[in-house]
Protein backbone atom coordinates (compact mmCIF):
# COMPACT_ATOMS: atom_id res chain seq x y z
CA UNK A 1 0.00 0.00 0.00
CA UNK A 2 2.89 2.36 0.74
CA UNK A 3 4.28 1.61 -2.73
CA UNK A 4 0.86 2.40 -4.16
CA UNK A 5 0.80 5.70 -2.28
CA UNK A 6 4.23 6.62 -3.66
CA UNK A 7 3.09 5.85 -7.19
CA UNK A 8 -0.01 8.01 -6.79
CA UNK A 9 1.98 10.86 -5.28
CA UNK A 10 4.51 10.70 -8.12
CA UNK A 11 2.17 10.32 -11.09
CA UNK A 12 -1.11 11.62 -9.71
CA UNK A 13 -4.20 11.34 -11.91
CA UNK A 14 -2.20 9.58 -14.63
CA UNK A 15 -1.61 6.64 -12.27
CA UNK A 16 -5.34 6.31 -11.66
CA UNK A 17 -6.10 6.42 -15.38
CA UNK A 18 -3.41 3.84 -16.21
CA UNK A 19 -4.40 1.46 -13.40
CA UNK A 20 -8.10 1.46 -14.35
CA UNK A 21 -7.30 1.12 -18.06
CA UNK A 22 -4.96 -1.84 -17.52
CA UNK A 23 -7.34 -3.66 -15.17
CA UNK A 24 -10.36 -3.22 -17.42
CA UNK A 25 -8.24 -4.40 -20.36
CA UNK A 26 -7.94 -7.73 -18.55
CA UNK A 27 -4.72 -7.57 -16.54
CA UNK A 28 -4.94 -8.86 -12.93
CA UNK A 29 -3.92 -5.50 -11.45
CA UNK A 30 -6.83 -4.31 -9.29
CA UNK A 31 -7.69 -0.63 -9.54
CA UNK A 32 -10.24 -0.56 -6.73
CA UNK A 33 -7.58 -0.04 -4.00
CA UNK A 34 -6.12 2.83 -6.00
CA UNK A 35 -9.52 4.49 -6.22
CA UNK A 36 -10.19 3.98 -2.51
CA UNK A 37 -6.82 5.48 -1.64
CA UNK A 38 -7.22 8.49 -3.92
CA UNK A 39 -10.71 8.97 -2.51
CA UNK A 40 -9.17 9.15 0.95
CA UNK A 41 -6.55 11.63 -0.27
CA UNK A 42 -9.30 13.78 -1.77
CA UNK A 43 -10.56 14.48 1.75
CA UNK A 44 -7.35 16.44 2.37
CA UNK A 45 -7.90 18.41 -0.82
CA UNK A 46 -5.12 16.73 -2.80
CA UNK A 47 -7.53 15.65 -5.51
CA UNK A 48 -10.98 16.49 -6.77
CA UNK A 49 -13.46 13.63 -6.39
CA UNK A 50 -15.29 14.66 -9.56
CA UNK A 51 -12.01 14.68 -11.53
CA UNK A 52 -11.05 11.25 -10.19
CA UNK A 53 -14.47 9.88 -11.12
CA UNK A 54 -14.30 11.32 -14.63
CA UNK A 55 -10.79 9.93 -15.23
CA UNK A 56 -11.72 6.46 -13.94
CA UNK A 57 -14.90 6.28 -16.01
CA UNK A 58 -13.09 7.41 -19.16
CA UNK A 59 -10.36 4.78 -18.70
CA UNK A 60 -12.93 2.04 -18.10
CA UNK A 61 -14.96 3.05 -21.16
CA UNK A 62 -11.88 3.04 -23.40
CA UNK A 63 -10.92 -0.49 -22.35
CA UNK A 64 -14.49 -1.81 -22.44
CA UNK A 65 -15.13 -0.31 -25.87
CA UNK A 66 -12.06 -2.10 -27.15
CA UNK A 67 -13.45 -5.47 -25.99
CA UNK A 68 -16.88 -4.55 -27.35
CA UNK A 69 -15.42 -3.86 -30.81
CA UNK A 70 -13.39 -7.09 -30.63
CA UNK A 71 -16.62 -8.96 -29.91
CA UNK A 72 -18.31 -7.28 -32.87
CA UNK A 73 -15.44 -8.23 -35.16
CA UNK A 74 -14.54 -11.74 -34.00
CA UNK A 75 -17.80 -12.96 -32.47
CA UNK A 76 -17.94 -15.43 -29.61
CA UNK A 77 -14.50 -16.75 -30.44
CA UNK A 78 -13.04 -13.82 -28.52
CA UNK A 79 -14.59 -15.25 -25.33
CA UNK A 80 -12.52 -18.40 -25.57
CA UNK A 81 -9.39 -16.29 -25.99
CA UNK A 82 -10.24 -14.28 -22.88
CA UNK A 83 -11.18 -17.35 -20.87
CA UNK A 84 -7.90 -19.08 -21.62
CA UNK A 85 -6.23 -16.30 -19.64
CA UNK A 86 -8.42 -17.05 -16.62
CA UNK A 87 -7.54 -19.40 -13.76
CA UNK A 88 -11.13 -20.66 -14.00
CA UNK A 89 -11.19 -20.95 -17.78
CA UNK A 90 -13.30 -24.10 -17.86
CA UNK A 91 -16.44 -22.44 -16.45
CA UNK A 92 -15.67 -18.97 -17.77
CA UNK A 93 -17.76 -18.96 -20.97
CA UNK A 94 -20.73 -20.74 -19.43
CA UNK A 95 -20.95 -18.41 -16.44
CA UNK A 96 -20.54 -15.28 -18.54
CA UNK A 97 -23.19 -16.32 -21.04
CA UNK A 98 -25.51 -17.33 -18.22
CA UNK A 99 -25.28 -13.94 -16.53
CA UNK A 100 -25.57 -12.02 -19.80
CA UNK A 101 -28.46 -14.24 -20.88
CA UNK A 102 -30.43 -13.43 -17.72
CA UNK A 103 -29.85 -9.68 -17.62
CA UNK A 104 -28.72 -8.75 -21.13
CA UNK A 105 -26.89 -5.46 -21.57
CA UNK A 106 -28.07 -4.38 -18.12
CA UNK A 107 -25.53 -6.83 -16.65
CA UNK A 108 -22.85 -4.29 -17.61
CA UNK A 109 -24.02 -2.15 -14.69
CA UNK A 110 -22.70 -4.72 -12.20
CA UNK A 111 -20.01 -6.42 -14.31
CA UNK A 112 -17.14 -4.50 -12.75
CA UNK A 113 -18.05 -5.72 -9.28
CA UNK A 114 -17.59 -9.36 -10.39
CA UNK A 115 -13.92 -10.38 -10.82
CA UNK A 116 -13.12 -11.31 -14.42
CA UNK A 117 -16.57 -10.47 -15.74
CA UNK A 118 -16.11 -6.90 -17.00
CA UNK A 119 -14.05 -7.55 -20.13
CA UNK A 120 -16.00 -10.73 -20.92
CA UNK A 121 -19.34 -8.95 -20.64
CA UNK A 122 -18.14 -6.17 -22.94
CA UNK A 123 -16.91 -8.66 -25.53
CA UNK A 124 -20.14 -10.66 -25.29
CA UNK A 125 -22.18 -7.49 -25.76
CA UNK A 126 -20.37 -6.93 -29.04
CA UNK A 127 -20.61 -10.57 -30.10
CA UNK A 128 -24.37 -10.69 -29.50
CA UNK A 129 -25.06 -7.54 -31.46
CA UNK A 130 -25.91 -5.21 -28.59
CA UNK A 131 -26.36 -1.76 -30.09
CA UNK A 132 -23.59 0.73 -29.36
CA UNK A 133 -25.84 3.32 -27.59
CA UNK A 134 -27.20 0.66 -25.22
CA UNK A 135 -23.71 -0.65 -24.55
CA UNK A 136 -22.32 2.80 -23.81
CA UNK A 137 -25.28 3.70 -21.59
CA UNK A 138 -25.17 0.62 -19.37
CA UNK A 139 -21.38 0.44 -19.33
CA UNK A 140 -21.15 4.10 -18.31
CA UNK A 141 -23.62 3.52 -15.48
CA UNK A 142 -21.60 0.50 -14.36
CA UNK A 143 -18.32 2.44 -14.48
CA UNK A 144 -19.82 5.30 -12.47
CA UNK A 145 -21.22 2.95 -9.83
CA UNK A 146 -17.97 0.98 -9.57
CA UNK A 147 -15.56 3.93 -9.46
CA UNK A 148 -17.96 6.07 -7.42
CA UNK A 149 -18.35 3.40 -4.73
CA UNK A 150 -14.57 3.09 -4.36
CA UNK A 151 -14.08 6.84 -4.11
CA UNK A 152 -16.94 7.11 -1.63
CA UNK A 153 -15.43 4.38 0.56
CA UNK A 154 -12.13 6.24 0.47
CA UNK A 155 -13.74 9.48 1.67
CA UNK A 156 -15.82 7.65 4.26
CA UNK A 157 -12.92 5.76 5.81
CA UNK A 158 -10.08 8.18 5.16
CA UNK A 159 -8.84 8.00 8.75
CA UNK A 160 -8.87 4.19 8.62
CA UNK A 161 -6.86 4.23 5.38
CA UNK A 162 -4.28 6.44 7.08
CA UNK A 163 -4.04 3.95 9.96
CA UNK A 164 -3.58 1.07 7.50
CA UNK A 165 -0.79 2.93 5.73
CA UNK A 166 1.01 3.48 9.03
CA UNK A 167 0.74 -0.23 9.92
CA UNK A 168 2.08 -1.28 6.52
CA UNK A 169 4.91 1.22 6.85
CA UNK A 170 5.87 -0.34 10.17
CA UNK A 171 5.72 -3.85 8.71
CA UNK A 172 7.92 -2.70 5.85
CA UNK A 173 9.44 -5.51 3.82
CA UNK A 174 7.80 -8.20 6.01
CA UNK A 175 4.36 -6.90 5.05
CA UNK A 176 5.17 -7.15 1.36
CA UNK A 177 6.44 -10.71 1.83
CA UNK A 178 3.21 -11.69 3.61
CA UNK A 179 1.08 -10.18 0.84
CA UNK A 180 3.17 -11.92 -1.85
CA UNK A 181 2.93 -15.24 0.01
CA UNK A 182 -0.85 -14.97 0.30
CA UNK A 183 -1.11 -14.25 -3.43
CA UNK A 184 1.16 -17.19 -4.26
CA UNK A 185 -0.91 -19.56 -2.12
CA UNK A 186 -4.11 -18.37 -3.80
CA UNK A 187 -2.70 -18.89 -7.32
CA UNK A 188 -1.23 -22.29 -6.39
CA UNK A 189 -4.59 -23.40 -5.01
CA UNK A 190 -6.38 -22.35 -8.17
CA UNK A 191 -3.77 -24.10 -10.32
CA UNK A 192 -4.08 -27.35 -8.35
CA UNK A 193 -7.88 -27.20 -8.58
CA UNK A 194 -7.64 -26.70 -12.33
CA UNK A 195 -5.07 -29.53 -12.68
CA UNK A 196 -7.32 -32.01 -10.88
CA UNK A 197 -10.28 -30.84 -12.95
CA UNK A 198 -8.41 -31.35 -16.22
CA UNK A 199 -7.33 -34.85 -15.19
CA UNK A 200 -10.95 -35.76 -14.57
CA UNK A 201 -11.90 -34.70 -18.11
CA UNK A 202 -9.49 -36.99 -19.95
CA UNK A 203 -11.49 -39.03 -22.45
CA UNK A 204 -11.51 -39.70 -26.18
CA UNK A 205 -12.71 -36.83 -28.37
CA UNK A 206 -14.24 -36.91 -31.85
CA UNK A 207 -13.20 -34.43 -34.53
CA UNK A 208 -15.69 -32.31 -36.44
CA UNK A 209 -14.63 -34.08 -39.65
CA UNK A 210 -15.50 -37.47 -38.17
CA UNK A 211 -18.88 -36.23 -36.95
CA UNK A 212 -19.66 -34.68 -40.34
CA UNK A 213 -18.86 -37.95 -42.11
CA UNK A 214 -21.10 -39.87 -39.70
CA UNK A 215 -24.00 -37.51 -40.40
CA UNK A 216 -23.42 -37.70 -44.16
CA UNK A 217 -23.40 -41.50 -44.03
CA UNK A 218 -26.71 -41.56 -42.19
CA UNK A 219 -25.36 -42.99 -38.95
CA UNK A 220 -27.28 -40.31 -37.01
CA UNK A 221 -25.58 -40.33 -33.62
CA UNK A 222 -27.32 -38.53 -30.78
CA UNK A 223 -25.79 -35.02 -30.82
CA UNK A 224 -26.19 -33.05 -27.60
CA UNK A 225 -25.76 -29.27 -27.29
CA UNK A 226 -24.91 -28.15 -23.75
CA UNK A 227 -24.45 -24.43 -24.42
CA UNK A 228 -26.65 -21.69 -23.03
CA UNK A 229 -29.98 -20.95 -24.70
CA UNK A 230 -28.59 -17.64 -25.93
CA UNK A 231 -25.72 -19.38 -27.70
CA UNK A 232 -28.02 -22.01 -29.18
CA UNK A 233 -30.11 -19.25 -30.71
CA UNK A 234 -27.14 -18.58 -33.01
CA UNK A 235 -27.48 -22.07 -34.50
CA UNK A 236 -26.88 -25.72 -33.64
CA UNK A 237 -25.26 -28.66 -35.34
CA UNK A 238 -28.00 -30.24 -37.51
CA UNK A 239 -30.16 -32.61 -35.48
CA UNK A 240 -28.67 -31.63 -32.12
CA UNK A 241 -30.84 -31.61 -29.01
CA UNK A 242 -30.45 -29.18 -26.10
CA UNK A 243 -29.67 -30.34 -22.59
CA UNK A 244 -30.06 -28.09 -19.56
CA UNK A 245 -27.17 -27.98 -17.08
CA UNK A 246 -29.28 -29.96 -14.57
CA UNK A 247 -30.37 -32.47 -17.29
CA UNK A 248 -34.05 -31.63 -16.73
CA UNK A 249 -34.83 -31.24 -20.45
CA UNK A 250 -32.96 -34.41 -21.30
CA UNK A 251 -34.76 -36.57 -18.75
CA UNK A 252 -38.15 -35.09 -19.58
CA UNK A 253 -37.67 -35.89 -23.27
CA UNK A 254 -37.49 -39.63 -22.48
CA UNK A 255 -34.94 -40.20 -25.24
CA UNK A 256 -33.89 -43.86 -25.58
CA UNK A 257 -30.30 -44.92 -25.07
CA UNK A 258 -28.18 -44.39 -28.18
CA UNK A 259 -25.18 -46.36 -29.42
CA UNK A 260 -23.23 -43.17 -30.11
CA UNK A 261 -23.58 -39.84 -28.32
CA UNK A 262 -21.63 -36.69 -29.27
CA UNK A 263 -21.64 -33.78 -26.82
CA UNK A 264 -20.45 -30.29 -27.69
CA UNK A 265 -20.14 -26.87 -26.12
CA UNK A 266 -18.26 -23.60 -26.76
CA UNK A 267 -15.67 -23.51 -24.01
CA UNK A 268 -11.93 -24.12 -23.60
CA UNK A 269 -10.93 -27.79 -23.43
CA UNK A 270 -14.54 -28.88 -24.13
CA UNK A 271 -14.96 -28.73 -20.35
CA UNK A 272 -18.75 -28.51 -20.18
CA UNK A 273 -19.15 -31.18 -22.86
CA UNK A 274 -16.81 -33.54 -21.03
CA UNK A 275 -18.66 -33.08 -17.75
CA UNK A 276 -21.98 -33.86 -19.41
CA UNK A 277 -20.41 -36.84 -21.20
CA UNK A 278 -19.30 -38.28 -17.88
CA UNK A 279 -22.79 -37.85 -16.47
CA UNK A 280 -24.37 -39.56 -19.50
CA UNK A 281 -22.03 -42.52 -19.10
CA UNK A 282 -23.24 -42.85 -15.51
CA UNK A 283 -26.81 -42.92 -16.84
CA UNK A 284 -26.15 -45.90 -19.07
CA UNK A 285 -24.91 -44.42 -22.35
CA UNK A 286 -22.08 -46.71 -23.37
CA UNK A 287 -20.26 -44.62 -26.03
CA UNK A 288 -20.11 -40.89 -25.36
CA UNK A 289 -17.50 -38.49 -26.73
CA UNK A 290 -17.06 -34.70 -26.55
CA UNK A 291 -16.64 -32.88 -29.86
CA UNK A 292 -13.10 -31.57 -30.15
CA UNK A 293 -13.16 -27.79 -30.58
CA UNK A 294 -16.92 -27.64 -30.04
CA UNK A 295 -19.24 -25.51 -32.13
CA UNK A 296 -16.43 -23.10 -33.04
CA UNK A 297 -14.44 -25.87 -34.75
CA UNK A 298 -17.61 -26.99 -36.56
CA UNK A 299 -18.20 -23.50 -37.94
CA UNK A 300 -14.53 -22.96 -38.76
CA UNK A 301 -14.65 -26.12 -40.88
CA UNK A 302 -17.43 -24.52 -42.93
CA UNK A 303 -20.20 -26.91 -41.89
CA UNK A 304 -23.77 -25.63 -41.75
CA UNK A 305 -25.83 -25.10 -38.61
CA UNK A 306 -29.57 -25.26 -38.00
CA UNK A 307 -31.67 -22.64 -36.27
CA UNK A 308 -33.37 -23.46 -33.01
CA UNK A 309 -36.68 -25.32 -33.14
Mean pLDDT within 158-187: 62
Domain closes at, from 132, 162, 193: 193
267 within some domain? yes
Give the pLDDT confidence score for residue 110 in this predicted structure: 87
Q: Are residues 214 and 188 in the same domain?
A: no
Q: Band of the pLDDT at 309, cuts 50, 70, 90?
A: very low
Domain closes at, from 165, 193, 221: 193
Full strand arrangement of the beta sheet holding 241-242: 241-242, 222-225, 261-264, 288-290
Q: Are residues 81 and 134 in the same domain?
A: yes
309 within some domain? no
Q: Are residues 180 and 103 in the same domain?
A: yes
Task: Mark out the alpha helices in 248-307 (DSSP H runs).
Answer: 248-253, 271-282, 294-300
Q: Are residues 96 and 222 in the same domain?
A: no
Q: Residues 224-273: pLDDT tens digits?
A: 898 877 778 778 898 888 876 555 555 545 455 667 889 998 776 677 78
Q: Are residues 19 and 158 in the same domain?
A: yes
The residue among 217 and 247 whose pLDDT is bigger is 217
- Chain length of the chain: 309
Provide the residue range defining the domain that includes 227.
208-300
Q: Band of the pLDDT at 308, cuts 50, 70, 90?
A: very low
198 within some domain? no
Q: How many domains does the chain have?
A: 2
Which of these, 162, 141, 168, lies nearest to 39 by C-alpha position?
A: 162
Mean pLDDT within 151-174: 68
Q: Are residues 137 and 221 in the same domain?
A: no
Q: Band of the pLDDT at 157, cuts 50, 70, 90?
A: confident
305 within some domain? no
Q: Are residues 270 and 225 in the same domain?
A: yes
Mean residue pLDDT across the chain: 78
308 within some domain? no
pTM (predicted TM-score)? 0.61
173 within some domain? yes
Q: Are residues 174 and 93 in the same domain?
A: yes
- CATH code where residue 223 lies: 3.40.250.10
The residue among 177 and 131 whose pLDDT is bigger is 131
Q: Are residues 126 and 271 in the same domain?
A: no
Give the pLDDT confidence score for residue 26 in this predicted structure: 79
Is residue 88 helix, strand or coil? coil
155 within some domain? yes
Q: Are residues 148 and 222 in the same domain?
A: no
Q: Are residues 77 and 212 in the same domain?
A: no
124 HSE (CA, 13 A, CB side): 29
pLDDT > 80? residue 4: no
131 within some domain? yes
Q: Are residues 62 and 153 in the same domain?
A: yes
One DSSP character per residue, 113-124 reads GSTTTHHHHHHH
Q: Band of the pLDDT at 141, cuts 50, 70, 90?
A: very high
Amino acid sequence: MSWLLQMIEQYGIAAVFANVLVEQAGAPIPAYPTLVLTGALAVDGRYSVSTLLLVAVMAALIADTGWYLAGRRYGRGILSVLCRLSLSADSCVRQTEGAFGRWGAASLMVAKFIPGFASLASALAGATGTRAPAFLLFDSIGAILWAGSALYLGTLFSSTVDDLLRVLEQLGRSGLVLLALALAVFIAGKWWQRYRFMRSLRMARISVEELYEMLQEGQNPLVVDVRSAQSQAQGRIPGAIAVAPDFSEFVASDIPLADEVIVYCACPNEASAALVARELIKRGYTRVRPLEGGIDAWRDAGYATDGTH
